Homo-oligomer: A and B are copies of this chain.
Amino acid sequence: MLAADNARLIRQSWHINAQDWIAAVRNGEIEGRRAVTDEAIVNAVLALKPDRVLDLGCGEGWLCRALATAGIKAVGVDAVPELIAAAQRSGGGEFHVIGYEELAGLWSDIGSFPLAVCNFSLFDENLAPLLSCLKGCLRPHGRLLVQTLHPRADAAGEYRDGWRVESFSGFLGRFTQSMPWYFRTLESWSALLVDSGFDVDRVREPVDSNSGKPLSLLLQCKVSAS
């Protein structure tokens, strides 16, 4: 299957699953996320003390709302209209329906940021254009936070880049539509970010204190000096 087909399937899956996703997030049904990775991304943002944040792939807007309670203005963008509609109804930020490929033209409208966040929102294979484009919205010395799956998440499988399928089987049977996603090794993340003009300046691995297992990889990046 072509990467472009998978990118289309990812968006289609979010479209079909939108209401289930909103319910799952808001009911706290996603145990690992709620307990560990949500807190990790909020703390990583707060540690950087930004006045504004761009939340790319904001979904139903929980992170923007969390940051609003800490006095941070957040702008959330997402390609899925149903999710943005839910985010707008709940408030706590400024929300726009924007596909990744439309982002480049919009920086003049939404302004520049000291920090952009991609919280479990980079599932596509070809991300270099998006990441290069993201630099256009970052102020000098701006940062990027990417939270994604941990390299040990798929410990049984082969350790190499490739498309995988998320069946959402761990989500209380809510979801009917599976979603393709692109697994990247740590080396691949590093190369992608460097080639897109970012230095990784801090790696975090939020760990489930019960199991001792890392639940995500949290990459803090800054725009390269050169």
| Contact string against B for A residues 149-160, beta-carbon threshold 8 Å, 1 for contact and 0 otherwise | 001100100111
Whether a CB of chain B sits under 8 angstroms from the CB of A225 is yes
In the complex, the answer to whether B202 meets A190 with C-beta atoms within 8 Å is: yes
Return A48 CB to nearest CB of chain B, in Å: 14
Q: Among B194, B201, B203, B205, which residue has its beta carbon within 8 angstroms of that of A202?
A: B194
* Residues in chain B near residue A155, CB distance under 8 A: 152, 155
Identical copies of this chain, number: 2
The bracket for how many chain A residues form the interface is: 20 to 34
Which residues of chain A in 155-188 are interfacial with respect to chain B, using CB atoms and an 8 Å cutoff? 155, 158-160, 185-187
Whether a CB of chain B sits under 8 angstroms from the CB of A199 is yes
In the complex, the answer to whether A187 meets B205 with C-beta atoms within 8 Å is: yes
Interface SS of chain A: mixed
Whether a CB of chain B sits under 8 angstroms from the CB of A212 is yes
25 A-B pairs (CB sep. < 8 Å): A151-B151, A151-B152, A151-B186, A152-B159, A155-B155, A159-B205, A159-B207, A159-B214, A160-B207, A160-B212, A185-B205, A185-B214, A186-B186, A186-B203, A186-B205, A187-B203, A187-B204, A187-B205, A190-B203, A190-B204, A191-B202, A194-B202, A199-B201, A200-B201, A200-B203
